[in-house]
Amino acid sequence: MTKLLVLPILLSSLYGNYQTILFHGHANHLESHNEQGTKFNEMNYGIGYQYTFREEENHFFSLGGNFIKDSYNNPMPFLTGAYNYSLLNNNYGELTVNATAIVGLRYTEDRGSSYGIFGVIPGMTYKYDKFSINYNFSPTVDASASNGRTTGFHYFSVGMDF
């Protein structure tokens, strides 16, 4: 078991790879309520872990696991995979844009059960030293009748490398 805990730390020393703990926070929905009149939860508190594979200077990949309170204040676990491209990297920090794929489970009271979600959303990260501020945007999507409509949102989180 100890070997499994040490492995990510050892991997992070190769090729400039690093690990980040994420603190999830605020979502700003494009609409304040859903079709049924339920007000969205704007404080999506949670925690996450991200491992970044950085073998190239300007583009790199990251994988993560996260757990938040979703827009309906229900627990929501999800996995992420992102392609990141560095627009600016100097003494003042690094600015990257990304495309993040999300796969997760969502529970809703009106259904009384969980269902899978997936998508790809654009984002941006500003990083200085070991600290980062992350922004993602999800547009409003009218899905199939079985999954309903997803209201668009702006989403913010912060991270700290270790």
Cα 56 to the chain's mean position, in Å? 22
pTM of the model: 0.81
Interatomic CA distance for residues 42 and 95, integer angstroms: 25
Tens digit of each residue's pLDDT (9 = 90 or more) over 38-66: 899 899 999 999 999 998 889 999 999 99
Instruction: For the chain, list the domains and their CATH numbers.
Output: 19-161 (2.40.160.20)
Q: Are 13 and 6 in contact (CB under 8 A)?
A: no
Tens digit of each residue's pLDDT (9 = 90 or more) over 92-111: 999 999 999 999 998 877 66
Interatomic CA distance for residues 15 and 161, integer angstroms: 15
Interatomic CA distance for residues 78 and 93, integer angstroms: 28
For 90-102, the DSSP string reads ETTEEEEEEEEEE
